[in-house]
Structures are given as C-alpha cells and as structure tokens.
A and B are shown apart, each in its own frame.
Chain A
Amino acid sequence: MDFDPMAMIAALPQIGQASLTNLWIAVVATAIALVIATGITVLRALRIRVITTVLDIVVSAVRGTPILIQIFLFYYGLPTLGLDIPPLIAGFCAVAFNSSMFVSELLRGGLTGMDRGPIEAAVALALPRRVIWSQVVLPQLYLRVLPALVGEITMVVKATVLLSSITVVEALRTAQQLASANFRFLEMMLAAGILLALINLAIAFIGAVIEGRLAVRRG
C-alpha cells in the first residue's frame, strides 16, 4: 500500500490551522443558533396559531432536508435575489440557521422535563412574562440542555466541512488544495479527519467535565 506517513504529518500544521476555522464557525454558529432557538421557544409559548404553524413548518422543513441542500440554497440562491454575499457568510448563515432548528427541539425537550415548581410560583405571583422567562425558565433550561448543546457543537463542526463545496477555506478544502499539489490525497484526508476528530473529542471531553461539575453542584 502506497502510504506516506511523513507527508501526512507534514500537512498537520497547515490543516490544523485551517481546522480552527471549522471550530470557530461551529462555536459562533451554535451560539447564534441558541439565540434564535430561544426566540422560537418564546414565540411558541405565545400560542398564536399562525405563528406556531409557521414555526412548525420551518422547523420540520429544515430538520427534514439535508444540510448540504440548505447550504446550496444560501450560496447559490441568494445571489439570484441580488444579494452578493461572500461564501463564508452564506455558509455560516446556512449552518447557523440549520442548527437553530435542532437546538429549538433540544430546548423543547428540555422544557418538558423541567421542574414546574418555580414556574408555578412565578405565575402565581403574577410576575411579568419577560421576567419569568429571563429569570426563571431560561437559566434553568440552558443548564438542563448544556450537555446536549455541547453535542450539537460537535455536530456543527462535522457539518462545516461541507462548506468546502462552496469554496470556503477550512480544513477539508485546505487538504484538497494540498493534495492537488502533492497528489497525496489519502494522507491529506487522513490528516484532516484526525484533526477534526480530535477537536470533537476535546469538545466532548470539555462537555463531560462541565456536566460533572454541574451534577456536583445540583446533587
């Protein structure tokens, strides 16, 4: 088998640097997704049928279609509307938008299992909606879904490699560029794969540590 470990190792620094792009896109996109998902959650609670139906359709559409298609819609579709956006921004928006739908379902799941007591007390005290949400519900909710959110970040990291198909320079694209020069496709891909897997393992580890700390505090 024709495999050159040295070529793979030599590529690590460059691909490693590029994989930081994947990482920051994932982290920022997930953060924005959390904001959007929170908005969706609050909107749902208003129980205005039109809004809820629209939300249901959008969430279902985004969760039921491949993220690659959504990336293409943003990248190829927006220019037809006259919006000239750099690939990175288009890709970032697609990823953030996609993630926000999944996070909204995470929040929904977190809501059903939450402690009813503090909310009942707040409602009984006739506290304004905004306060109940920001002081009682959301803090508790975010803590509850934190482990799942960390999991979501790893999912998004994996999704960011798809941005290579719309010319965004991240780890995979860098690997492809190097490979087209040195023809060591397997080694370059392995390098990218190992680096991204390590990033995800590190994120998962951090998540486990956070979860442990939280359990100690609660327990």
Chain B
Amino acid sequence: MNAPVLSARGVTKIFGSFTGLDGVDIDVARGEIVAVIGPSGCGKSTLLRCLVQLEEPNSGTILLEGQPFGSVAADGRRQSTRTIDRIRPKIGFVFQSLNLWPHMTARDNVAKGLISVRRMPVAEARERALALIARFGLAAKADRRPADLSGGERQRIAICRALAMEPVALLFDEPTSALDPELVLGVRDILRELAGTGIGMVIATHDLRFARAATDRVIFLDRGRIAEQGPTQATLDNPQSSRLQAFIKSVDHI
C-alpha cells in the first residue's frame, strides 16, 4: 500500500470568533486525485492554504512524504520560516485567480522559481520552462505576457509554474470557476496526466460534475468539518449524510 504523499491530522484554523477549519484529517496517495467539496465558506480554500502553509493553522500536523511540514513533529513547535519556505514548493499551488506575474512573460513566470529559489542559471531555467510549456502545447506563446493569453492558456501556464519546482503534490483552488464549460474536460485530462506521473492532488471545487469526471475520492466539508468522504462516484451517487444530500440537491437545482 502506498504511503500517502501528503497527510494532515487535526488541522484547525480559527479566524477571530469564527472557526474556519475544525480538526480536519486528509490523506493523499501518490497519483490520487482528491476533491474537496462543500458550500461557500465551508473551508475548502482555507484547507488548501493551510496545507501549503500560506495560512498558519492554529493546530494540527502536516506531513509531506512523511516529513513534518509547518511544525516539528515532536513538540508541535512551528518550523522556522526558512525551513517552511524551502519545503513549500514541493506542494504546488494553483490559485483560483492564477496570480500570474503580469510584468513577466509566460516563460519567465515558469522559470522564476528555478532562478530565484533553486539558483539555477537563467538560460537553463528558461530552457526547462520552455520544455514544460511545450508539454502543454503552448510553446508558441511562451514569450507572451499573461495579458495576451486566454483564460485556459493562463491556467496551463500557472500549472507549469507550479510543476517547474518538481512538486510531489499539487493543490488546485477552484480550477474550473473561471473557465468556459468546454475547457473543463481539458482540465480533467491534465489532471489525469499529472496523476499518471505520481503527483497527488487535492482539488477544491464547487463543480460536482467536474468532481465526478476528474477525481478519485471526494471529501465533503461542512462548516469546517468533514461531514462525509469516500470514492467520488459512490459517495455522490449515494450520499449517506443528510448534509451532503441537501448540498447535492441544492447544487443540482442550478
């Protein structure tokens, strides 16, 4: 059995008087695609941001390839910022708004991490970036700025940017929300291909049809807690908890 590539226990995040996440556990195996679904405000984005330590969880442990990330396993103290910064790129993050850097070309966006963090020579980094971009069929647009790319193209560049750092896991925050419907299946294909290379993925999404088509397992979050989880098809076809039943019903009415 595969040891999970990304594993979290008891992740809790409190914002003032509001509990965003309450003791969430999650395991992602190599090559597995896990969907996190739930109504707005349920904590999907918060969970992803905590997993990659863009938010500091109030409590909980996160293990990346079995090694602690964010806190020292023994006494729960937080790792140094430098250590966290060093480990962070091993979990790639694709933002909902992509956050491509507008003043740089697509190629430079992808190469930037290699140059600034890995201290790779610029020429080599740009070569690698071009190769990655070409894998996604965008070689011709490598020297364009993000503003000159379509939404789908920008997303692929954002994925390249994360992949350039050779992550073992990838997190996607609402990958289909800004895309035209016909591009959604394209995203599914990309995810499948990435899973084939052994990367474990977590997708926060409100799009249940996309979750069905693209993911292996689904976790349903309700107000910061896991209300139900299981294999995607089975769980969505036969929701056990009343909360999930209500959620699916409310979404299907659109």
Q: In the complex they form, do A and B come into direct contact, defined as C-beta atoms under 8 angstroms apart?
A: no
